[in-house]
Structure 1
């Protein structure tokens, strides 16, 4: 997330910008060869984001600025951390209606970070997280355009023909949502397998019950498309002077081929409103600017997507409930790793009490719809 600040002061490693996941001297030497400019050898690295998944670094040097992506430190790269897949989908989408950064270089392992990685262009702009920066999207009309841009780019992504951009084999779309329920059910079982207390016994039962309800009522897929897997406002870079323009969509680590309504359902989980039902408000632990005046309501987002995509959104509550289930499992997994001492305690900041309200929201949406 390119808007988040990070220190470039000398670290305990003794080199300005040194970090456990990437050494500036090694990265700089590799970039000098890959990009054909010796001045990259004087590069400084700064981490971007909270580091809960793939690691992202801003790389600054006399030659300019680029962004490095690599898997989490100490983990065997699985599908969710597959740098090759990220590089492939981003490269394939260049020149379509979906704005993405340009891929500049990549490694399958070894130098520069001892793991698969890639380097992409740095896209300057605004990544809205919490309150927007001063002077950006200050009017209700501008915020409405931000919301519309998010819908327009999502529709554009779902309209891309995978075969036409070389992604016809990027996933197995048949049975996608059935496998998604199974996948995140397995993740849930993994999070609770080691006996680490993550949530209350009641929440455990309700999360398992939500899983069973979802698994027993999977809607028929209307269309198979490229799906992002984590599409939300803070995974987009917006133009600094034109809030209605998205300059790049980021974080493609969960992208595949499947049901496009999975993207819309998860987007709505992250979509906060100024006036909320208590069940929605309780589940909103992560920062988002969309509750500011001018941003469209969830029903407006749904209506705009329906008009542009032509899909029947009657089954959308199932996808929203699945989004709540998926996010609850993701956060439970982070909490389990923190409490087992596998990752730093700060990774749990802000999400300590997030799982139970998401489970409650999932049940609510299944029973009552998204209103």
Structure 2
């Protein structure tokens, strides 16, 4: 803990909240919004704010994240209790929100996860899929999120949106990325009925309690109403790329007992009752989306707008995500 973490003015935050002296630390692991653990010595919170520097239009909306937490708190999908949203950038220099601090482990390291043993790893992976099924089973209207997105034409709009995000972050040529973008637009599958979509669902975006239960789903910055198979495609993509990117992205799928992509897909299909024969397209789309996200982070790194370690390696990952997407489309 420190009195002066990067990107957070604790004196201004303390004055705004009317608390005693605050201390905070940047929580490492995220590559997008900045996340801090904050305490006044008695209470503990987590604060989320947009990244420094270059910020893509429509991204990093604190209000959307806070609204989802408020809607889902108390639902079958565990989330931290939302505390306060402040959209006035004058308070700390950017919009932010506070949520309760939840004790739990975000598993990012395959070796640490492997220490649980194959049976516990398998059970945890099954719970990860089952929680996604629970999320997609929630009627958005029942939790006040009927207007949270525009499901009609979702996939076509998503491909266009991420293409525009790519254009906004171009600083170099990335072989194959425009081909992937075009082929995704040309081969859109028919979407199932829309649901609430997390947008970045994977094991290191949930907190796990000491009993191996999922105690909180985090990082809702990309959430919307849309095609639920986009969440499944992303989870499958991370599983398939775990070995290639171990040590750079979370390689938890390498832990003995973690199911392969086919098993993840089968469990989701059984739990949700959805048709999943076109999942390869969704894996390709997830690869494109992550390539664009990483290219945006690479852009910010070049401008000196990143906080934390290892950002110098992000740009090197982009071509491999592009190639994985192109390979997946061959199966669609």
TM band (smaller chain): over 0.9
- Worse-superposed segment, 308-317 or 50-59: 50-59
**8 Å CA contact retained: 1:283, 1:358:** no
Change (3 A) 1:31 1:342: closer
**TM-score, reference length from structure 1:** 0.83
1:287 Cα deviation from its structure 2 partner: 2.5
Partner residue of 2:216?
248
Partner residue of 2:69?
90
1:307 pairs with one of 270, 275, 295: 270
Computing the radius of gyration from Cα coordinates, the structure with the larger value is: 1
Residue 191 (1) aligns with residue 166 (2): no
The number of equivalent residue pairs is 331
CA distance in 1, matches of 2:315, 2:89: 36
Change (3 A) 1:308 1:332: same
Partner residue of 2:254?
291
Q: Which has the higher contact order (CA 8 A, sep 6+)?
A: 2
**TM-score, reference length from structure 2:** 0.92
**8 Å CA contact retained: 2:53, 2:304:** no
1:143 Cα deviation from its structure 2 partner: 0.2
1:353 Cα deviation from its structure 2 partner: 2.0
- Worse-superposed segment, 56-65 or 18-27: 18-27
Change (3 A) 1:352 1:73: closer
Residue 49 (1) aligns with residue 28 (2): yes
Structure 1's unaligned 5+ residue stretches are 1-7, 9-15, 33-39, 274-279
**8 Å CA contact retained: 1:128, 1:288:** no
Partner residue of 2:153?
175
CA distance in 2, matches of 1:291, 1:131: 6
Change (3 A) 1:347 1:187: farther
User: What are the Cα deviations for residues 124-144 of structure 1, in whole angstroms up to 9, with x where unaligned?
Assistant: 01100123548x862111000
CA distance in 2, matches of 1:364, 1:177: 19
SS in 1 for 2:330: helix
CA distance in 2, matches of 1:353, 1:75: 19
Change (3 A) 1:333 1:302: same
Residue 28 (1) aligns with residue 18 (2): no
Partner residue of 1:113?
92
Partner residue of 1:37?
none
Partner residue of 2:37?
58
User: What are the Cα deviations for residues 115-156 of structure 1, in whole angstroms up to 9, with x where unaligned?
Assistant: 32111100001100123548x862111000110011011000
**8 Å CA contact retained: 2:53, 2:306:** no
